[in-house]
Structure 1
Amino acid sequence: MSDIVDQINDVHREVGSRRVGEPEEEARTVLLRRTYDAAVEDVWDACTTKERISRWFLPVSGDLKPGGHYQLEGNAGGEIL
């Protein structure tokens, strides 16, 4: 059990807001920060590749690039800013 608690505690979390779009509207932002014992390129690939995201989170569909839209299966979706 402590392994799960340690993993949760290893993540820094911030919730904020910013203005986006035309016309500008208020939007919510979420920042999660954690250090991993892995190469930056490998971590980035795990966070931005559909097949790898589904291994550690939920299946995701969409266009995973800035300006694209995503949908987590049975959950949240949105635009990638």
Structure 2
Amino acid sequence: MVRRWVLLPALALGALWWWAVMRLALVPEQAGLIEGAVAAGGWGLSLLPVHVASRAGGAGAAGGTTTATTAWRRPRSGGRSDPS
């Protein structure tokens, strides 16, 4: 569950980012360095890999082991999975 003290600042930062992007798109001649920095920074944050690997048993970073996950394949119409 997301805490309220995390949700409100996240919404405010998201609104600030959208304001900067819309200002750059709609009135680029009036947009300045601040709008460009906010838009580029928000876009750059979206490139960060947040969930790379899962932790086994909820262990923390110290001493925890990571486990690889495999993709789930939906069974075909016959009810069985592909033998390959």
TM-score by length of 1: 0.20
Bigger Rg over Cα: 2
Higher fraction of helix = 2
Using the size of structure 2 for normalisation, the TM-score is 0.20
